[in-house]
Every structure is written in structure tokens, then in C-alpha cells.
A and B are shown apart, each in its own frame.
Chain A
């Protein structure tokens, strides 16, 4: 009987070790991205697209779209629309923007190029598009505390996994007819987190989302600066950007001739019928 106790302890210890060894000793990396260059210029057989001078008719109609990525599940459609709304809010404050269209992800095909954007332009009637691309890398390493995974309790309780999430969101604004990039605004975030092996997947997902949210905040801040800089650039380099101000962009206080005569007639009639004419 006494000989059986050490054997039982040994078996339990061995079982715990075997359970833990799967999670010890490995670092991992996840990489998700979508690339504007790959989307627009992936067809190497096609002749190179040479940008021409853009004709910007103010106020602008702007489309916002996410560049298709290799794994689109990292950014689901509702989250994309939420991020697109943030970008849209920056454009909406600009008096030279008339309308903003959020383009669903399914309307952009991978490696679609400007031909795909021409289709979007036809569908939505927008000449300018803000293409949002992303690049996110998640590293997971084990810290010193991961030695405590050798116990079952440690696996559930000790935050020995170190997550490192780097995210870049980039909004590149193109004039579709001229194929010219007008400006771009990036947003870069870095999220550090810790997790236990048991909730690692969930923590990664949360860090990923947090990374996108932080990057989106920085990107929209940069977008505001870039929009202001672009306005100055257009003024300083009129040979590079042809700006046409449509009538809607300029309001005017205009009296039409019949209205002018109506007002005169009203005043004249009241004066003539009144007691004192022009006297005070």
C-alpha cells in the first residue's frame, strides 16, 4: 500500500506535464493584411497606368472602401462599416465634400485594379475613392511566468502569454478617372497584452480589435491634417490639380428681376396710398 502512493503521485505529475507540454516552448505569429498596391497594380501584363492631371469637380462625391485582403474574416463587415463611418465623419466636415458612399466589401474584387474602381464609379457616381488597407501582425510569446503552466492551475490563472499586436490602417485617396493618388493618411497602433493559454484566442481577438480601433483613431486624426494639407497643395499647385467649382459649391444671394420689381411695387403702392409719402 505504501509503495502505491509514490506511484500514484508520479502518474498524476506525469499527466500534468503531458497536459502542459503542448503549450510550452512555442511562440507564434499571425499576419493579416490587405494591400493597395496589390489591389491596384497586380496585373503585370497590363500597360502601366500613368496618372494624368485630375479634374476635381467641387463639391466632391467620395466613396470609402476597404481593399480586399487575403483573410477578410479579421475585419467583419459591420466593423468595416463602423471604421468607414469614422473616416466618413472627417470628410463630412469638409465643405468641398457633398456626398459620401460606403462601398460594401463584396463590391471590390481581389486584384481588381482601376477597372474594378471604374465599376464602382459607374455604380455610385463617385470620382474620388478612399481606399482603406490594413496590416496587422500579432506575436505571442511566453514570459517567465509561463513556467507555472506546469501546474493545471497555472494554465488557467497565470498570464504568462505575452501578446504583441501591431496594426496599421491606411487611407489612400485616389481620383479614379485620372488614376492619381491625391493623398494618404496612415494610423499605426501598438497593443501589448497578456493572456493565459486558455483565453489566448479570445485575448488575441480582443487585442486585434483594439489595435484596429486605436489605428482608426490615429488615421482619422491624420486624415484631417492631410485634408488640410491637400487643400493648400491644390491652391499652390494649380497646374497639378484642375479644380472646377460646381454651382452647388457656391451659394449666392440673388434677387431675380421680377422679385425686385414686386418689392418695389409693394413699397411704392404702400407709399402712394399712405398719408405721408416719403415724409418722415
Chain B
């Protein structure tokens, strides 16, 4: 019997709570001015909150499967990978995107999760590593094209949410997650 993927479900639950409970949203959202004022946790927690139910739903649709697969496949450093990625991507926003006052959304971490999983599996399934390598290549191709074209590859964020989807978050997430996957695999036995 498979173990309950507690971490993944906890992230999903926290994201829902942070999105729909206004005090939690205000406390956790990436707010550049508040970060400058010393509330540094927002660098990482900004990924948990969302601007609307639709925003949350689509991100969870992409996150839950990769979270479940990563834990069921025994990637023990997956939770650490996501926490580190959340912080690094947040720091990236702070230094590379000084004009952005607010940020919310899990998609940067979703891309970090996929990057981590694909790289970890390349090392693990040596016979079929090309499959995971191809998946990783497509992830990077998509993220890079989004970044270069300045928008999400397929469609933009819902108009009603009044925000701009940030392709840079996807690319940063994919890079950080992949690097962490490489680092973590070198430290795991077998």
C-alpha cells in the first residue's frame, strides 16, 4: 500500500486556505514593500497564495500529479526541493524584478517540481533516461519560449484576475528544481 503523500496534500490545503482566507492572503502574499520592511518569509510564501479560485485550481491541477508521483516514486528530497525553490525563486523576484509589487501563484514551484522529478528520474531510470530527458527538454523549451515571448505559451491569465502571468517564474522554477534534482541525486545512495 502506498504511503499518503502528506507533503503534497498539505501544500494544496495550505494554498487553498491562504487563497480563500483574507488574513492569510495578506500575511503570506509576496509584497515587495513588506519584504523590504523585514517580512522576508513572503519571498517563499507568496507562491502559496492565489488571486482567485480559477488561478488556484489550474495551478493545483498541474501540481498535485507531480507531487503525488514524486513522493510515490520515493524522492525523499522532494519537499526540501520545493521549499528551497520557493525561497530562491522569491529572492530572484526581489532582485531581478524590482518593479513587481505583488506576486502570487504556485506555477513557479510547479515548474520546479517537474524539473526536480525529471532530472531525478534521468538518474534513476538509466535505461529509459531518454524519456525523462525528452520530458525535461520539452519543459525547458516551453519555459524558455514563454520567457522570450513574454507570456504564457498557450493562453494568458484570466482577465478577471487582474494580473500578468510571469513566464520568468516558470523558467526560474524549472532551472532551480532541475539543479536541485541533480544535486540531490548525487547525494542519494544507489
Contact = CB atoms under 8 A, between A and B. Distances in A.
A254 B157 CA distance: 6
Interface stretch (B6-14, B163-171, B178-186): B163-171
Contacts of B33: 95, 231
Contacts of A262: 138, 142
A252 B69 contact: no
Given A250-B101, A253-B165, A259 B154 contact: yes
Contacts, number: 163
Contacts of A246: 162
Given A251-B97, A267-B69, A260 B51 contact: no
A200 to B, nearest CB: 47
A254 B52 CA distance: 11
B175 interface: no
B101 A96 contact: yes
- Tell me what chain B mostly uses at the interface: helix, strand, loop, or mixed: helix
A21 interface: no
A1 to B, nearest CB: 87
Interface of B: 2, 32-33, 47, 50-51, 55, 58-59, 61-62, 65-66, 69, 72-74, 93, 97-110, 114, 117-118, 121, 125, 127-128, 131-132, 134-135, 138-139, 142, 152-157, 161-166, 169-170, 173
Most interface-central of A58, A256, A262, A278 (chain B CB within 10 A)? A256
A266 interface: yes
A260 B166 CA distance: 15
Interface stretch (A39-47, A76-84, A268-276): A268-276
B127 A275 contact: yes
A280 interface: yes
A98 B99 CA distance: 7
In this complex, the interface size class of chain A, counting residues with CB under 8 Å from chain B, is 35 or more
Given A247-B164, A254-B166, A255-B61, 8 more contacts: A247-B162, A250-B100, A250-B163, A252-B105, A254-B55, A256-B156, A264-B62, A270-B132
6 contacts: A250-B164, A252-B51, A253-B59, A253-B106, A254-B163, A274-B132
A251 B103 contact: yes
Interface of A: 58-59, 93, 95-96, 98, 231, 245-260, 262-264, 266-267, 269-271, 273-276, 278-280
Contact of B62 (A245, A252, A263, A271): A263
Contact of A252 (B66, B73, B117, B165): B165
Could you say which of B66, B106, B138, B163 has the most chain A C-beta atoms within 10 Å of its C-beta? B163
A55 to B, nearest CB: 15
Contact of B128 (A93, A255, A263, A274): A274
B65 A264 contact: yes
A251 B107 contact: no
A59 B164 CA distance: 13
Given A245-B162, A267-B69, A254 B59 contact: yes
Sort A-B residue pairs by CB-CB distance and give the 8 closest, nearest first: A253-B105, A280-B74, A253-B107, A260-B62, A258-B154, A252-B163, A95-B101, A254-B165
Central interface residue in A246, A250, A255, A264, by most chain B CB within 10 Å: A255
B163 to A, nearest CB: 4
